[in-house]
């Protein structure tokens, strides 16, 4: 359908508007200021074509009716559909309504004359949908409508038409199938996983619970199996123990028999065994007696040897003590000699030190005298320099001079002022009047000053007046002459103002230098002062540095220092008491230093002799009197004997002590020897004991036992031990067996428990395996469906996608690589150039959303438009969020959309695009029809 024209009367603020001869395709711009009635026209078209029969009394319709007027709203729209022209006319609020068709002759033929029939047939002709449904939902936009329709609310018939042209996207069967799959899938999963990853099971799904139960059942089974294995091990052990106990019982029985036999044999041999045992005891007693006698013989021999050794050692110790006494005498004599030598050298050393001290005092006094003279000289020179410096500084204070920067600024000031003054002079106008003789004097009003009437004189000088801004000259008999500078007058004021500022600044700056403001030589005088200062500053600097060098801490401090040195010198004269009276000491510092060095050299030699003597004395004293500490060991670290580490005096004392001790030991041993049996007595005892032993051995040989008699006791004991061991083993085996039997009885029913647990595990394993497969299969179906849908979408939406993307690039929107459309042919997301990131369609800026939404609408609308049957797009105040640059590009988009694209597959049909706007300059599109609703001849507004 396209519109050919319309006529509206008494609709909202519109009294009358009539538009005709609208182009069938292209852009039609209807513009006018706010309140003209643009939106009202669109509302009237919606009402007449689609939304209300003439008789409707709905509030939404009635609000468009004129206020305070009884006139009826009347709308007539001429439209073309399916190759024929129609005109619908509705007078709202009445029964008056008719639908007419244009005959080939160009006349109108009434097709329907009742309100309902006219409305119904009109609606049927243009698609049967209200103005906010069907294709109108996509292309008839209100002012605020810049978003795309909600996918769920997008007209299903339009989707169906799009499917018919673009191809199958997702069939109803697909929808139902996906619904089923999603329902099943959601039994296990909550969210889709990334490609290649398994989705996470929902916490409360049956599979999750079954897996948890399986895990628990496996744990239970493992526990039961462990219990079972323990019982099996115990069973084997019990069986072994049973067999073992049976064998042990047999062994115990045999062992009892053997013990009984050996007991009888043992009892039969008892007397013979007793006699043999007594003989044996007697042999042992005789042997002991012999051993005692032999011990006594050995003891006596040992004592004799020890006595002889003690007496020999005592003699040797006595000789050693005498040698120690001799060595001590020699050492004490040498020590006395060294002490005398030390005393002599110490006296000489003291005398030399006294002389060196006096020489040193004399040198110091000579140095101090020299320091006083030098300080006095420095003080005199510093005082002279300070006076010169004061003079120069006073001159500087009395004749202040500008610094270089200030002098440059003043120079610039004067240069600028001179320039301005020259400009001022150049701009001045001079009025020169040379009146004729007898002429009446002119009346002059110059620069709004008081009127002046200069006397005119014949042949007199001409009357001259400078004029800055204006002048009024009244020439008697002729009239008034006005002179005016026009805009230049303002420049002169500015120059004057600037000149005043410069002069004021100059006089303020030079005042501190004592130069009057009007002195024309002021700048030269300032330059002279500056030159004087330049010559004076280096001298001041030099004098300041010299004074600082002579008196770094100030002249006063230097003066104090001279006084201090003089006091020191005076105090030294008073305190000096020479001890070398009678000695002829040198008078110069140099000679005194040489003397001091000689005395030092001699003193060093004497000091060496003193130290050597002291060391020798110390060494001798240590050799004589060294007492080892109480905890010292027998040998010192060098391995010397204790005696060698003692002093000679201690060695002598120790040797004497050892001599006395050894003598005492000899006496004790001799007494002990005397108390022992004599050698002869001991030899007799040994002989008697040997004889007794031989006799008892003979008796023992006589009581010797047979081999059987010898072993019977051992055999009996062994048999009893063996029987006890068997008995112990048997008891232990029976104890353990009984214990196991008790334990094993607890295993009753374990087989069923084990089977039940295994059955539970197998059942759960089977169930979870089956359900896992089911879940994975549904997940795979879901994923494949989504992937396949994406590919299908790419194929189906290709033409729309490419056209919109081309327009987006024209507008330089985002630099996106592609757009993802949803099942309802509407865009979902924008994919970045890298393909990895995407932006939801609604996340773009408001202006961009408006532009992209309009482009998508136009592209989809064009898909449903045909060259033979174009469709209408109504845009009420569109693109209000766009910037100027994109608005300019959008013109091209609108022109392109209106033209269509016959080459594309499927072809994009042309559009009849109505743009209602108050900014006609935004939509200055080549070839567009522009209608100015602001013109009264086009649209008359109601008067209120």
Partner 1 sequence: MRFLHAADLHLGLRITRFDEAACKRLGEARFEAIENLRAKAAEHRVDFVLVAGDLFDDHTVSRTVAERAFTLFEGKTMPCPVYIIPGNHDPLTPGGVWDRDPWTRDQPTRNVRLLREAAPIAVPDLPVVIFPCPLRHRNSIDDPTAWIANHPRAAGDDTIRIGLAHGSLAIMPTLPEDDHLIRKDAADHYGLDYLALGHWHKSLRHKSADGGERTAYSGTHEPMRFPGSAAGLSTGWTSYSADGDAERFQDDGHGTAQLVTIDAAGAPPMIETIEIGRLRWRADERNLTAQPIGEIISEYASREDRALTVLRLKLSGVVDPERHGRVETDLRDIVCSRYCLGSQMLTDMLLVEPNDQQLGAIVGDGVLARVLGRLKEEAQPSDVKVKRVADHALKLLYRIAWEEQA
φ/ψ (deg, to 5) at 518: -90, 0
Looking at the Cβ atoms of 147 and 735, the one nearer to partner 1 is 735
Please list, in sequence order, all residues whose beta carbon lies within 8 angstroms of the beta carbon of residue 403, skipping any fewer than 6 positions away: 530
Q: Do residues 555 and 386 lie in contact, with contact meaning Cβ atoms separated by under 8 Å?
A: yes
68 closest CA partner among 695, 813, 944, 754 = 944
Q: Do residues 933 and 36 lie in contact, with contact meaning Cβ atoms separated by under 8 Å?
A: yes
Least separation, in Å, of the C-beta of 174 and partner 1?
4
Using CB under 8 A, pick the residue from 67, 397, 432, 745 that binds partner 1.
745
Looking at the Cβ atoms of 131 and 170, the one nearer to partner 1 is 170
Rule CB under 8 A: is residue 743 a binding residue for partner 1? yes
Q: How many CB atoms lie within 10 A of CB 361?
A: 16
Give the range of 301-309, 701-709, 739-747, 801-809 binding partner 1 by CB under 8 A: 739-747
Which of the 8 DSSP states describes residue 149? P
Rule CB under 8 A: is residue 754 a binding residue for partner 1? yes
558 closest CA partner among 379, 374, 388 = 379
Give the range of 412-420, 431-439, 638-646, 759-767 binding partner 1 by CB under 8 A: 759-767
Helix H, strand E, coil C: the string for 489-510 is: HHHHHHHHHHHHHHHHHHHHHH
Q: Do residues 925 and 895 lie in contact, with contact meaning Cβ atoms separated by under 8 Å?
A: yes
Rule CB under 8 A: is residue 257 a binding residue for partner 1? no
Looking at the Cβ atoms of 172 and 477, the one nearer to partner 1 is 172
Q: Which two tokens stand for residue 277?
A: 């045992």
Least separation, in Å, of the C-beta of 783 and partner 1?
10
Bond prior to 808 in cis (omega within 30° of 0): no
Rule CB under 8 A: is residue 392 a binding residue for partner 1? no
Q: Among the residues of 811-912, which ranges form H helices?
A: 846-864, 884-899
Rule CB under 8 A: is residue 773 a binding residue for partner 1? yes
Least separation, in Å, of the C-beta of 136 and partner 1?
28
Using CB under 8 A, pick the residue from 205, 744, 829, 904 that binds partner 1.
744
Q: How many CB atoms lie within 10 A of CB 614?
A: 15
Question: Segment 873-932, which members bind partner 1 (CB under 8 A)?
Answer: none
Looking at the Cβ atoms of 123 and 744, the one nearer to partner 1 is 744
Q: How many CB atoms lie within 10 A of CB 42?
A: 22
Rule CB under 8 A: is residue 313 a binding residue for partner 1? no
Rule CB under 8 A: is residue 737 a binding residue for partner 1? yes
Give the range of 277-285, 473-481, 667-675, 787-795 binding partner 1 by CB under 8 A: 787-795
C-alpha to C-alpha distance for 603 and 356, rounded to whole angstroms: 10
Question: Segment 178-197, which members bind partner 1 (CB under 8 A)?
Answer: 178, 180-181
- How far apart are the two ends of the chain, measured CA to CA in Å? 36
**Interface size with partner 1, residues (CB under 8 A):** 55
Which of the 8 DSSP states describes residue 462? P
Q: Do residues 352 and 599 lie in contact, with contact meaning Cβ atoms separated by under 8 Å?
A: yes
Looking at the Cβ atoms of 165 and 694, the one nearer to partner 1 is 165
Give the range of 6-14, 368-376, 429-437, 753-761 binding partner 1 by CB under 8 A: 753-761
Q: Which two tokens stand for residue 130?
A: 């209200």
Using CB under 8 A, pick the residue from 388, 625, 774, 838 that binds partner 1.
774
Question: Segment 217-256, which members bind partner 1 (CB under 8 A)?
Answer: 228, 231, 234-236, 238-239, 241-242
Looking at the Cβ atoms of 294 and 781, the one nearer to partner 1 is 781
Rule CB under 8 A: is residue 176 a binding residue for partner 1? yes
CA angle 164, 168, 174 (to 5 degrees): 130
Rule CB under 8 A: is residue 447 a binding residue for partner 1? no
Q: Do residues 898 and 25 lie in contact, with contact meaning Cβ atoms separated by under 8 Å?
A: yes
One character per residue 133-172, x = contact with partner 1 (rule: CB under 8 A): -----------------------------------xxxx-
431 closest CA partner among 382, 465, 473, 469 = 465
Using CB under 8 A, pick the residue from 60, 452, 728, 787 that binds partner 1.
787
C-alpha to C-alpha distance for 418 and 433, rounded to whole angstroms: 30
**Parallel/antiparallel/unpaired status of strands 911-917 and 871-876:** parallel
Looking at the Cβ atoms of 236 and 319, the one nearer to partner 1 is 236
Give the range of 399-407, 569-577, 710-718, 775-783 binding partner 1 by CB under 8 A: 775-783
Least separation, in Å, of the C-beta of 166 and partner 1?
13
Counting Cα atoms < 13 Å in the Cβ hemisphere of 290 gives 16
Which of the 8 DSSP states describes residue 521? T
* Owner of token pair 């009357």: 463
Looking at the Cβ atoms of 657 and 787, the one nearer to partner 1 is 787
Give the range of 589-597, 695-703, 774-782, 894-902 binding partner 1 by CB under 8 A: 774-782
442 closest CA partner among 412, 477, 487, 407 = 477
Rule CB under 8 A: is residue 266 a binding residue for partner 1? no
C-alpha to C-alpha distance for 189 and 183, rounded to whole angstroms: 10
Least separation, in Å, of the C-beta of 819 and partner 1?
19
C-alpha to C-alpha distance for 303 and 678, rounded to whole angstroms: 12
CA dist list (Å): 487 to 35, 420, 484, 494: 44, 18, 9, 12
Rule CB under 8 A: is residue 690 a binding residue for partner 1? no
Rule CB under 8 A: is residue 544 a binding residue for partner 1? no
Give the range of 351-359, 601-609, 755-763, 887-895 binding partner 1 by CB under 8 A: 755-763
φ/ψ (deg, to 5) at 785: -65, -45
Q: How many CB atoms lie within 10 A of CB 629?
A: 5
Looking at the Cβ atoms of 384 and 743, the one nearer to partner 1 is 743
Looking at the Cβ atoms of 192 and 336, the one nearer to partner 1 is 192
Rule CB under 8 A: is residue 778 a binding residue for partner 1? yes
Using CB under 8 A, pick the residue from 776, 794, 809, 815 that binds partner 1.
776
C-alpha to C-alpha distance for 885 and 890, rounded to whole angstroms: 9
Rule CB under 8 A: is residue 504 a binding residue for partner 1? no
Least separation, in Å, of the C-beta of 128 and partner 1?
27
Q: Which two tokens stand for residue 581?
A: 């009276």
Across the strands, what pairs with 5? 78
Least separation, in Å, of the C-beta of 742 and partner 1?
7
Q: Sign of the CA dihedral 643, 647, 650, 655?
A: positive
CA angle 721, 722, 726 (to 5 degrees): 120
Least separation, in Å, of the C-beta of 202 and partner 1?
19
Looking at the Cβ atoms of 787 and 883, the one nearer to partner 1 is 787
Least separation, in Å, of the C-beta of 777 and partner 1?
4
Give the range of 10-18, 467-475, 609-617, 735-743 binding partner 1 by CB under 8 A: 735-743
Rule CB under 8 A: is residue 742 a binding residue for partner 1? yes
Using CB under 8 A, pick the residue from 15, 90, 740, 803 that binds partner 1.
740
Least separation, in Å, of the C-beta of 216 and partner 1?
17
Using CB under 8 A, pick the residue from 406, 414, 789, 881 that binds partner 1.
789
Looking at the Cβ atoms of 240 and 576, the one nearer to partner 1 is 240
Rule CB under 8 A: is residue 750 a binding residue for partner 1? yes
Q: Which two tokens stand for residue 612?
A: 């050597």
Rule CB under 8 A: is residue 684 a binding residue for partner 1? no
C-alpha to C-alpha distance for 151 and 159, rounded to whole angstroms: 10
Q: Among the residues of 678-749, which ranges form H helices?
A: 679-702, 707-745
14 closest CA partner among 36, 34, 30, 32 = 36
Give me the residues that bind partner 1 (CB under 8 A), please. 168-171, 173-174, 176-178, 180-181, 228, 231, 234-236, 238-239, 241-242, 737, 740-745, 747-752, 754-756, 758-759, 761-763, 773-774, 776-778, 780-781, 784-785, 787-789, 791-792
């Amino acid at each position: 359908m396209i519109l050919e024209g319309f006529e509206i009367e008494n609709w909202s603020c519109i009294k009358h508007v009539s538009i005709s001869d609208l182009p069938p395709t292209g852009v039609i711009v209807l513009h006018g200021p706010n309140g003209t009635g643009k939106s009202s026209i669109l509302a009237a078209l919606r009402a007449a074509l689609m939304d209300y029969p003439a008789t409707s009394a709905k509030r939404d319709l009635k609000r468009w009716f004129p206020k305070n007027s009884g006139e009826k709203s009347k709308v007539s729209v001429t439209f073309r559909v399916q190759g024929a022209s129609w005109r619908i006319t509705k007078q709202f609020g009445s029964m008056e309504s008719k639908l007419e068709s244009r005959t080939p002759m160009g006349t109108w033929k009434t097709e329907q004359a009742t309100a309902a029939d006219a409305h119904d047939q009109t609606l049927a002709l243009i698609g049967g949908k209200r103005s906010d449904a069907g294709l109108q939902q996509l292309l008839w936009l209100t002012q605020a409508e810049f978003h795309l329709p909600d996918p769920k609310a997008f007209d299903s018939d339009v989707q169906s038409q799009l499917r018919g042209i673009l191809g199958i996207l997702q069939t109803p069967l697909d929808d139902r199938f996906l619904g089923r799959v999603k329902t099943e899938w959601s039994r296990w999963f909550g969210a889709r996983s990334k490609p290649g990853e398994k989705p996470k099971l929902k916490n409360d799904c049956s599979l999750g619970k079954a897996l948890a139960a399986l895990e628990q059942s496996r744990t239970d089974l493992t526990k039961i199996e462990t219990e079972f294995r323990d019982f099996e091990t115990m069973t084997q052990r019990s069986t072994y123990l049973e067999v073992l106990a049976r064998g042990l019982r047999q062994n115990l029985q045999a062992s009892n028999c053997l013990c009984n036999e050996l007991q009888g044999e043992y009892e039969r041999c008892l007397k013979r065994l007793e006699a043999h045992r007594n003989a044996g005891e007697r042999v042992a007693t005789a042997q002991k007696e012999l051993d005692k006698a032999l011990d006594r013989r050995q003891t006596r021999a040992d004592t004799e040897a020890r006595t002889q050794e003690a007496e020999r050692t005592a003699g040797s110790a006595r000789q050693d003590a005498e040698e120690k006494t001799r060595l001590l005498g020699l050492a004490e004599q040498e020590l006395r000699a060294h002490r005398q030598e030390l005393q002599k050298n110490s006296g000489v050393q003291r005398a030399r030190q006294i002389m060196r001290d006096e020489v040193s005092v004399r040198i110091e006094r000579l140095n101090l005298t020299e320091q006083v003279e030098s300080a006095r000289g420095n003080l005199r020179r510093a005082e002279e320099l300070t006076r010169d410096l004061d003079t120069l500084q006073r001159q500087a204070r009395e004749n202040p001079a500008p610094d270089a920067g200030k002098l440059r600024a003043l120079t610039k000031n004067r240069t600028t002022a001179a320039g301005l003054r020259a400009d001022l002079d150049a701009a001045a106008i001079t009025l020169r009047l040379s009146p004729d003789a007898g002429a009446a004097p002119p009346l002059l009003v110059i620069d709004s000053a008081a009127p002046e009437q200069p006397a005119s004189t014949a042949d007199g000088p001409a009357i001259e007046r400078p004029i800055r801004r204006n002048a009024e000259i009244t020439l008697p008999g002729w009239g008034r002459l006005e002179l005016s500078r026009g805009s230049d007058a303002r420049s002169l004021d500015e120059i004057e103002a600037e000149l005043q500022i410069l002069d004021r600044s100059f006089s303020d700056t030079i005042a501190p230098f004592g130069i009057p403001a009007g002195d024309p030589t002021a700048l030269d005088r300032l330059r002279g002062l500056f030159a004087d200062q330049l010559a004076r500053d280096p001298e001041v600097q030099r004098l300041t540095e010299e004074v600082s060098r002579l008196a770094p801490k100030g002249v006063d401090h230097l003066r104090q220092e001279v006084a201090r040195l003089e006091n020191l010198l005076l105090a030294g004269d008073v305190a000096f008491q020479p001890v070398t009276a009678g000695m002829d000491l040198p008078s110069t510092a140099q000679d005194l230093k040489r003397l001091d060095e000689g005395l030092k050299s001699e003193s060093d030699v004497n000091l060496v002799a003193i130290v050597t003597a002291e060391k020798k004395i110390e060494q001798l004293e240590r050799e004589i009197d060294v007492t080892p500490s109480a905890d010292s060991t027998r040998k010192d670290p060098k391995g010397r004997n204790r005696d060698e580490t003692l002093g000679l005096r201690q060695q002598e004392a120790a040797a004497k002590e050892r001599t006395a001790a050894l003598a005492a030991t000899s006496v004790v041993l001799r007494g002990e020897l005397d108390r022992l049996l004599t050698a002869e007595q001991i030899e007799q005892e040994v002989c008697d004991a040997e004889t007794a032993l031989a006799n008892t051995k003979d008796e023992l040989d006589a009581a010797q036992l047979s081999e059987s008699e010898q072993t019977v006791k051992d055999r009996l004991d062994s048999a009893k031990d063996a029987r006890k061991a068997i008995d112990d083993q048997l008891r232990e085996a029976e104890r353990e067996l009984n214990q196991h039997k008790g334990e094993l009885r607890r295993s009753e029913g374990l087989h069923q428990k084990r089977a039940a647990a295994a059955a539970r595990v197998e059942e759960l394993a089977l169930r979870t395996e089956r359900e896992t497969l089911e879940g994975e299969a549904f997940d795979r179906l879901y994923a494949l469906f989504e992937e396949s849908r994406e590919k299908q979408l790419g194929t189906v939406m290709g033409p729309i996608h490419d056209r919109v993307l081309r327009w987006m690039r024209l507008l330089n929107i985002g630099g996106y690589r592609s757009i993802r459309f949803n099942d309802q042919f509407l865009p979902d997301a924008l994919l970045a150039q890298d393909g990895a990131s995407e932006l939801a369609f609604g996340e773009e800026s408001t202006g961009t959303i408006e532009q992209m939404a309009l482009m998508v609408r136009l592209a989809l609308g064009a898909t449903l438009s045909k060259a033979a049957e174009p469709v209408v797009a109504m845009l009420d105040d569109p693109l209000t969020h766009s910037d100027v640059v994109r608005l300019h590009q959008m013109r091209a988009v609108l022109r392109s959309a209106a033209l269509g694209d016959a080459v594309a597959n499927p072809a994009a049909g042309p559009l009849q695009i109505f743009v209602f706007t108050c900014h006609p300059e935004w939509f200055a599109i080549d070839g567009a029809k522009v209608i100015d609703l602001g013109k009264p001849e086009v649209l008359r507004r109601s008067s209120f």
